[in-house]
Structure 1
């Protein structure tokens, strides 16, 4: 058993084409946990790579937001029928989150559809996506080129190795003979076997029984790594998606219903919200309805539910009754 130190990159596939997304996911790794998002993993000399695809978008926005919030870089993919308003929604989200990436036409039969790449380049000209490359990812060379481009844009994890511990849970379930098991991304710090922890917002206390990375048991894992943890003392119902696992008495990880003066990148398109307007907030991977309490150079919000919050999390504000739905995202 060792301390896990390999670089880990999480690549999200932002697409309304479920078939094309699944084609890319299967081409890039072994299929793992699948709910409203599906996770694929593969390992090479440079990285342990996790690929995440949203299931159910465009009928549901949340899988798309969760995928983007988990990602270090993204592939923005259109289907073989071309660009639509969902393409714009995905582009606005990637722009607000300042995500690096590439754009592509997804699927195994996309020969002759390069014209869509030119259309995307023109459509994204006013966004940060204007400096992305357009690639056809429909053969072995395309898969390699896309990986190399995404790897080259990876600047490292958002958080720091030596700071507070924050693990954002994406899945939790009971395992007979083991107890509660979670899958999650270490957004900051290092987790160690035997470490005492607290889950927010439930404030349930427990202990790390064991740690796995890519089905390999390890003594510890650090920021940027997608891990599986077996936990002692906390039931799965207190570990729902978006729960943040931290160390006891850590003041950087909080639970709150009010966040003020958020430095936010506003959506380049769409109508700005008004004070008192009902919204939906995704903080890390935790979501809640809420309302706007301030919207000028910064944003202030109040949520219906208590939500976990920490300095290195992502936060996106949505109006689910509007197109585009994305209003803006927190800047680090």
Structure 2
């Protein structure tokens, strides 16, 4: 099966038309299936009050869909996050053609300057998305990121997440990040159908062996190789849209990789309260008291 993961901002009518609502928390996950193509649409349902709702839904997205009819502070912060996360493919939904010029100027220099304006029928856009090629991280290594988890009677521990690298196989043994233990994949489901394997990009439901639901947290990885952990980051590379320069003793949060991890800037570095997996080269750093809250990218050191 082929998968498409779509970040959708401020477009509830579009979501109601094209998809069925699934898992709902501070992020809401919607689904649809067209033949052998499964589309997962991710909505930041607690944004703007919760910044991690935004970054968690962008992280695994292949394509972004944003509403261009409402240009405000939150819209700018969404564009900033998309730019720092490198989401280069996307669509801007508009009903007011007069806003095109304003948006073109506003988005210049960001990934969103190359997004396609769209004002047609939602199903027409889904057809375009299904024909859009997406880049995948093909690899011999398997990496899955977890976003929800729970215990099911007669099944045991169940985790929901995305295959972000390689191919996941039934009965595969994987290391659980943040914990010194190994978990086994008892079963894999995609769109409520049992599977023997799940390629990169897949939204999966996993029955896990050797791990309790109480041991899991959002943002943990299951990987065929142990991932390095780090509690130290470089000072952030401040985005050009940001006017507030970071300074020593400032409280910051990593808002990336489905994490929201506290730390402090001290002596030219960021020290986190606890280590996180250094899976990505760099992660978004934010301060909830600034406008915009997102500062830039920090790298593991």
Residue 207 and residue 58 in structure 1: after superposition, are their counterparts in 2 closer, same or farther (change >3 A)?
same
TM-score normalised by the chain length of structure 1: 0.81
Q: Does 1:254 align with 2:254?
A: no
Paired residues of 2:228 and 2:279 also in contact (CA < 8 A): yes
SS at match of 1:155: coil
> Structure 1 residues 316, 151: CA separation in 2 closer, same or farther (over 3 Å shift)?
farther
Partner in structure 1 of residue 80 of structure 2: 92
Are 1:71 and 2:61 matched, yes or no? yes
Question: Is residue 54 of structure 2 the alignment partner of residue 54 of structure 1?
Answer: no
Equivalent residue for 1:315, pick from 276, 283, 290:
283
Of 20, 23, 26, which residue of structure 2 is paired with 1:33?
A: 23
Residue 206 of structure 1: which of 183, 190, 195 is its match? 183
Alignment: residue pair count:
298
Which runs of 5 or more residues in structure 2 are unaligned? none
1:13 is aligned, of 8, 16, 24, to: 8
SS of the residue corresponding to residue 242 of structure 2 reads coil
Task: Give the whole-Å Cα distance in 1 for the aligned partners of 2:189 and 2:139.
Answer: 18
SS in structure 1 at match of 2:105: helix
Match runs of 1:1-332 below 5 Å: 6-15=1-10, 21-45=11-35, 47-78=37-68, 82-99=70-87, 100-105=89-94, 113-136=96-119, 141-151=120-130, 154-157=133-136, 159-162=137-140, 164-247=141-224, 250-251=225-226, 253-260=227-234, 266-292=239-265, 300-311=269-280, 315-329=283-297
Say which SS state the counterpart of residue 185 (structure 1) adopts.
Answer: strand
Q: Tell me how far 1:120 sits from its aligned partner.
A: 2.0
Change in CA separation of 1:179 and 1:272 when aligned onto 2, cut-off 3 Å? same
Q: CA deviation at 1:116?
A: 3.1
**Partner SS for 2:196:** strand
The runs of 5 or more residues in structure 1 that have no matched partner are 1-5, 16-20
- 2-side partners of 1:151 and 1:12: how far apart? 14
CA contact (8 A) 1:96 1:267 kept: no
Cα distance in 1 for partners of 2:190, 2:56 equals 21
TM-score (norm 2): 0.89
Provide closer, same or farther for how the CA distance between residues 46 and 194 of structure 1 changes in structure 2, counting only shifts above 3 A.
Answer: closer
8 Å CA contact 2:238–2:245 kept in 1: the answer is no
Separation in structure 2 between the aligned mates of residue 243 and residue 46 of structure 1, nearest angstrom:
29
2:4–2:40 CA contact under 8 A, matched in 1: yes
